[in-house]
Structure formats: structure tokens, C-alpha cells
Amino acid sequence: MASLMEELISVLGAEQEIYEKLIPISEKKTLILIKEDLEELKKVTAEEQFLIDKVSFIDRKREEIIKNIGIVLNKDPKELDLNTLSKILAKQPEEKKAIANMHDSLRKTMKRLVEINEKNKSLIENSLEMIEFNMNFIQSTRMSTGGNNYDRNATTSYNRSINVGGFDAKQ
């Protein structure tokens, strides 16, 4: 059981490191979204995706460790979160403290990432709204006939071209 806890703490530490690396990348992404620099956005998004892939791999390892801990403790792995594990480890103060510290650290980091990502989401939604507005404006200017020309008497005058070579039914 002790080795599983050590392995869990190690995996959580690796997860924490990656999430901490994501914070400055997400903050950089915010500035790039404000500048509307698409080339730089591609680069940052690729870097972000690389770290997300790494954290997904580590997350699967964490789930496997939690599953093994559940087998040892004869508990459902779905019920074993870090808070519950901390309570279970009441008789092992060092491991309990390490798990509790990891839990607190991960919560703070994740809270910060969520805040930044919400800001980025809002910026992206605002950009999409502006793009949609511009597209609608462009479409509406193309659809208008442009034939509404007014003279001094406020009457509409149309520039109608005479159909030369058209069919005349009276002939």
C-alpha cells in the first residue's frame, strides 16, 4: 500500500508540474487573443495541446493507481478521491500530509487555469461575435440594390437601362 501511495504522490506531482507549465502558456494565449495574432495562436495552441496530451497520459496512470488502491482497500475506485484518501491515511501522517498538500496545490493550480481559460473563452466568443457581425454587415451591403438614389425633390430615381433588342408584343 505504501508503494502505491508513493507512486500516486509522484504521479500527482508530475500532473501538478504540467498544470503549472500550462498557466503561463494560457496567459500568453490571452495576450495573443487580444492582439489577434493567428500565427502565434497556432504555435501556442500546439504547445498547449502537447502538454494536455502529456497530462492525459499521466491522468490515465493516476486512475490505474487509484484502481489498484481500491483493490487493496476493497473500495470502489470511483469513491477514492484525494480527500477520501487523506482521511483513510489518518494513521500514516507523512503520506496523509503529502496527499493533502498535493490536493491543495492541485486545487489552487486548477482554479487558476479555469479562471484563465474562462477569460480566453470569453475573448474567443467576443471575437466570433465580431466576425459574425462583420459577415452580416458585408452580406447586407452586398444584398442592397444600391438603386435608392434621391434627387432634390426627394423622389427616387432609378437607373434603368433600356433593353435593346427585346421582344415587343405590339409589332
List the single range of 22-26, 27-31, 100-104, 145-149 with lowest mean pLDDT: 145-149
Cell numbers 489518518 correspond to what residue? Answer: 90
Q: Summarize pLDDT for 16-33 with one digit per residue, the tens.
A: 999 999 999 999 999 999
Q: Tens digit of pLDDT for each residue in 32-70?
A: 999 988 899 999 999 999 999 999 999 999 999 999 988
Tell me if the pTM is above 0.75. Answer: no
Query: What's the CA gap between 79 and 41, in Å, rounded?
Result: 39
Of 56, 2, 48, the closest CA to residue 21 belongs to 48
Residue scoring higher pLDDT (71 or 1): 71
Q: Any idea which fold 2-140 has?
A: Methane Monooxygenase Hydroxylase; Chain G, domain 1 (1.20.58)
Helix (H) or strand (E) holding 110: helix 93-143
Question: Is the pLDDT confidence value at 161 over 50?
Answer: no
What sign does the dihedral 59-60-63-64 (CA atoms) show? negative
DSSP, collapsed to helix, strand or coil, labels residue 75 as: coil
The mean pLDDT of the chain is 84
pLDDT value of position 78: 87
pLDDT digits (tens, 9 = 90+) for 81-94: 888 888 888 888 88
Show me where the domains of the chain are located.
Answer: 2-140
pLDDT at 1: 66
Residue of 155 and 1 predicted with greater confidence: 1
